[in-house]
Chain A
Amino acid sequence: MALITSQLSRRVDGVPYLDNVSCRLERGGFYVVVGPTLSGKTSLLRALAGLDLPDTGAITLDGRDQRKVPVWKRSVSMVYQQFINYPHLSVFDNIAFPLRRRGMGAEEVDRKVRQAAQRVALMPLLDRMPAALSGGQQQRMALARSLAKDDDLLLLDEPLVNLDYKLREQLREEFLSLFAKQDRAIMVYATTEPNEALLFDAEVLVMHEGRLLQSGPAREVYARPANVEVARIFSDPPMNLMQGILHGDEIRIGHAMRLSRPRHFDSLPNGNYTFGIHPGDLAMHGGGIAMQVDLAEINGSETCLHASRDSVNLVLLLAGVHGYVPGDRVEIAIDGFRLFAFAADGKLAVAPSTNQG
Chain B
Amino acid sequence: MTTLYRLLKYAAILLWSAFVLAPFMWALSTSFKTSNGVTGGPTYLPWLQYEPSLEGWRSLFRADGSGIDIAGPYGSSVAVTLCASAISLVLGTLAAYGLSRFTYRAGFIRNADITFFFISQRIMPPVVLAIPFFLMLQAFGLLDSEVGLIVVYIALLMPIAVWVMVDFFNNIPRELDETAMLDGCNPFETFWRVILPNSKPGLVVAGLFCIIFGWSDFFFAFTLTFTNTQLLPVAVVALNSSVTPWWSLSAAALISVAPLIAVALVLERYLSRGNLAGAIK
Contact = CB atoms under 8 A, between A and B. Distances in A.
Interface of A: 49, 51, 70-72, 74, 76-78, 80, 82-88, 97-98, 101-102, 129-131, 145, 149
Nearest to A153: B182
Nearest to B190: A72
B186 interface: yes
B198 interface: yes
Given A87-B279, A88-B198, A72 B173 contact: no
B184 interface: yes
Contact of A72 (B182, B275, B279, B280): B182
A101 B178 contact: no
26 contacts: A51-B178, A70-B186, A71-B181, A72-B186, A77-B182, A77-B183, A78-B182, A80-B179, A82-B173, A82-B175, A84-B175, A84-B176, A84-B179, A85-B279, A86-B176, A86-B180, A86-B194, A87-B276, A87-B280, A88-B194, A88-B197, A88-B279, A98-B184, A101-B185, A131-B278, A131-B279
Interface in B187-205: 189, 194, 197-198
A145 B280 contact: no
B219 to A, nearest CB: 40
Given A84-B176, A87-B276, A130-B279, A145 B183 contact: yes
A174 to B, nearest CB: 20
A108 to B, nearest CB: 15
Given A71-B182, A84-B175, A98-B184, 9 more contacts: A49-B182, A70-B186, A72-B184, A77-B183, A80-B175, A84-B173, A87-B198, A130-B279, A149-B183
B6 interface: no
B106 to A, nearest CB: 20
B105 interface: no
B181 A72 contact: yes
B275 A78 contact: no
A101 B175 contact: no
Nearest to A129: B279
B185 to A, nearest CB: 6
Contacts of B183: 72, 77, 97-98, 101, 145, 149
Contacts of B178: 49, 51, 71, 78
Contact of B281 (A74, A76, A82, A86): A82
A101 B279 CA distance: 22
A220 to B, nearest CB: 32
A232 B149 CA distance: 69
Main secondary structure, interface of B, reads helix
A242 B184 CA distance: 52
Contacts of B175: 80, 82, 84
Interface of B: 173, 175-176, 178-186, 189, 194, 197-198, 275-276, 278-281
B183 to A, nearest CB: 4
B179 to A, nearest CB: 5
Listed residue (A83, A85, A88, A102) with the most chain B CB atoms within 10 angstroms of its CB: A88
Contacts of A78: 178-179, 182
Contact of B184 (A80, A85, A102, A129): A102
A76 B182 CA distance: 6
Nearest to A135: B281
A130 B197 CA distance: 14
Nearest to A46: B178
B34 to A, nearest CB: 55
Contacts of A97: 183
A284 B84 CA distance: 80
A44 B233 CA distance: 60
A86 B177 CA distance: 10
Contacts of B182: 49, 51, 71-72, 74, 76-78, 98
A131 B280 CA distance: 8
B105 to A, nearest CB: 15
A130 B175 CA distance: 16
A136 to B, nearest CB: 14
B244 to A, nearest CB: 52
A144 B28 CA distance: 59
Contacts of A129: 279
Contacts of B194: 86, 88
Contacts of A70: 181, 186
A101 B179 CA distance: 13
B110 to A, nearest CB: 14
Contacts of A145: 183
Contacts of B198: 86-88
Contacts of B280: 83-85, 87
Contacts of B186: 70, 72
A101 B193 CA distance: 10
Nearest to B200: A88
Nearest to B175: A84
A129 B280 CA distance: 11
Which 5 A/B pairs are nearest by Cβ-Cβ distance? A87-B279, A101-B184, A98-B183, A131-B279, A88-B197
A72 B179 contact: no
Contacts of B197: 88
A78 B189 CA distance: 19
A317 B194 CA distance: 49
B61 to A, nearest CB: 45
A88 B180 CA distance: 13
